[in-house]
Structure 1
Amino acid sequence: MYITITPQKLGNNYSQSSADFVGYLEKENQDLEQGALPAGKAGMEHFYNQYDVEISADEVVKEIDGNGAKLKKTEPKFYSITVSPSKYELNRLQNNSEDLKRYTRELMKDYVASFNREINGRPISIDDIKYYAKIEHQRTFKGTDWQIRENQPFATKILQLKTEIRNIKEGRAEGNIKLLQNKIDRLEKEAPHQQDGKRIVQGMPKAGNQSHIHIIVSRKDASNTFSLSPGSKHKASEVQMHGKNVKRGFDRDQFFDRAEKTFDRTFVYQRNFAETYKARKDFIKNPKIYFASLMKLPTNERAIAFKIMKESGVPMLPSIPVTQAQLAMKVFNRLRRGVEVAIKSSSIGI
């Protein structure tokens, strides 16, 4: 499970409206209408919230934009939550769309519970937030994906050869076009990461089940009175405001942990060690502890964990060390480089 929480982007390219972001989330429906996506892949997906379905994009924009009272122009009006289940988690679902909608509604209860805030002396409830969600079924490879990065040396050589061919055709150079094209064909096949017999390139649609959830949640509560920011750096604390003790903060650790457990409980999912929130934290904070724990797993669970890690793009050891001391040293030296990239571009991220 890969979950991100990001604030509304502000700047020259983004207005104070949510229209740009909502329009971006409508791209799959637009592609379906234009016949740009394969028939039968997935039907139209509409916005929904805790109680309603088939909410229009116009209504989402109207509700989010109209719920930002007293926010400064430099403050985000909304936050974006992206929930990307792994292929193993998706395989557990019976009906992607309906099950993910059900999960969204439980997940947002976890979101609310992670605020250390009160409204009129009571804990925040699900009815105090204004959010809209949408399911997408397509993904494309990005420049940060590990497959693209590892294919890059081949892509660079192919581009150079194509430039040589173009120069020959346009009379700026001399050479054997057929020979150069044969080199290109060979490099295309030698690239380490292929999909359906083709070199994986940036922008290529990813194969398999790619269903994921986008959630747009207003920064202000449903009454347009109180600010609820999941971007708060305060996990759980109290501060004096106007002579009163006021609770503040959002506990991201609690949210991510609950989100994982809610999925497991809802769909009776048996989570492997490599998929757990605690393991992912250890991977980031202390790779030695992570791999030491990994080696203590039963053989079958360890094998699945290594498979998950490999698919996620985690830098792997060339072989399994004999001792824990060897393990710790190799892990530290191998993972110290590029661990942040692996986190950001794969499903192991937090």
Structure 2
Amino acid sequence: MYISISPQKLGDHYGSSAKDFISYLEKENSGKSLDQKTYFFNHQEHQITDKEVVKKIDANTAKLGKKIPKYYSVTLNPSQRELRHIKENPEKLKLLTRKIMEDYARCFNREIDGRPVSVSDIIYFAKIEHTRFYSEKDLQVRENMPYLKRIAKLKHDLVKIQKGELQESMSKANALIRKEINNAPHKLNGSLIDVGVQKPGPQSHIHIIVSRKDATNRYSLSPGSKYKNSTTMLNGKKVHRGFNRDLFYKKAELQFDKLFAYNRNYVESYTARKTLQKNPATYYRHMMGLPLTERKLAFKLMQQAGLIPKVANISPAQANRLLKIFKRAADLAIKSSSIQY
């Protein structure tokens, strides 16, 4: 599971309303009838309209200036393997979201009226989306790009040929286009994968908008704070501050595993991804120490992620040679969120 936390988008200053962001989250409802639409939900309610979300988020921004975000966006991205495990059941995704948001509250190093922050102090609204589209960040698009650029030029030349502006053979140009398409590494149903193409397989994910202010509109709760667990003096009083992101990410995985009896492979874990970014050799050694069946699954998942070439049966000797290959690809794949375990 890949999780991201980001503040309200910054232009010249932070906007006073969540309207634009909520409108973006309504994109899958476009053109659908009322009974086909999906709604927002929170810890207690199931069918919350976009207008209600905007109203409640916008009303909870006391004493937040233009240079302070009014809300944060949390995105929960279960992997395709995780989604298949729960059969992409929306009710299970809602249950998971609610459990994760309980942990979100617990990961604040803050107190409200002398007690730890709880989910009842958090104002949040979540929505499940079921489709994703390739972007310029995806490995498949990046590797296809040289071919796509050459094809675009060849098609431009075809137009010139048709207009008589270029004295070339149309059949030759078309043959070159077919050659580029055949040589391109990533295709979907015979067509090249490009920006805007819908991704195949289960793609459900959850968008969550969380108010920066607590439910009383008195306290600021920022998951973006650079202070994990620290204290500071405010008006002569010692005040706790910070949000532990590492703990939050780990707890989210544990919630999924516990709720749905999921056997997480090492390479699927947040700890492994972090190790891969910082010390690929340690990551590899840990993986090679896994039991044989777990190791085979680990390599299969890495192949699906594009970290190593696809090999039918990987021996330890082959694995050693592949280490150098996946080291080069690892950082790019993770930074682009292209890992789809």
1:1-350 equivalent positions in 2, closer than 5 A: 1-11=1-11, 15-33=15-33, 43-94=36-87, 96-315=89-308, 322=317, 331=323, 334=325, 337=328, 339-346=330-337, 348=339
Matched-pair identity in %: 46
Q: Give the distance between the partners of 1:160 and 1:92, measured in 2 at CA.
A: 44
Q: Give the distance between the partners of 2:317 and 2:202, measured in 1 at CA.
A: 37
Give the C-alpha shift of residue 190 in structure 1.
2.5
Q: Give the distance between the partners of 1:315 and 1:5, measured in 2 at CA.
A: 28
Q: Give the distance between the partners of 2:240 and 2:7, measured in 1 at CA.
A: 22
Count of aligned positions: 338
Give the C-alpha shift of residue 317 in structure 1.
9.5
Equivalent AA in structure 1 for residue 317 of structure 2: V
State the SS of the aligned residue for 2:317: coil
Give the C-alpha shift of residue 32 in structure 1.
3.4
**Structure 1, residues 217-270: CA drift from partner, whole Å, max 9, x if none?**
000001111000000001101111111111000000000000000000001100
Q: Flag the 1:156–1:162 CA change in 2: closer, same or farther, 3 A.
A: same
Q: 2:103 touches 2:251 (CA, 8 Å); kept in 1? A: yes
Q: Give the distance between the partners of 1:234 and 1:267, measured in 2 at CA.
A: 33
State the SS of the aligned residue for 1:260: helix
Give the C-alpha shift of residue 344 in structure 1.
2.6
Q: 1:137 touches 1:210 (CA, 8 Å); kept in 2? A: yes
Q: 2:14 touches 2:67 (CA, 8 Å); kept in 1? A: no
Q: TM-score, normalised by structure 1?
A: 0.90
Equivalence for 1:37: none
Q: Displaced runs of 4+ in structure 1, greater than 4 A?
A: 315-321, 333-338
Q: Give the distance between the partners of 2:148 and 2:338, measured in 1 at CA.
A: 24
Equivalent AA in structure 1 for residue 183 of structure 2: E
Give the C-alpha shift of residue 194 in structure 1.
1.4
Give the C-alpha shift of residue 77 in structure 1.
0.4
Q: Give the distance between the partners of 1:234 and 1:30, measured in 2 at CA.
A: 40
When structure 1 is superposed on structure 2, of 193-202 and 278-287 the one drifting more is 193-202
State the SS of the aligned residue for 1:297: coil
Give the C-alpha shift of residue 314 in structure 1.
2.4
State the SS of the aligned residue for 1:192: coil
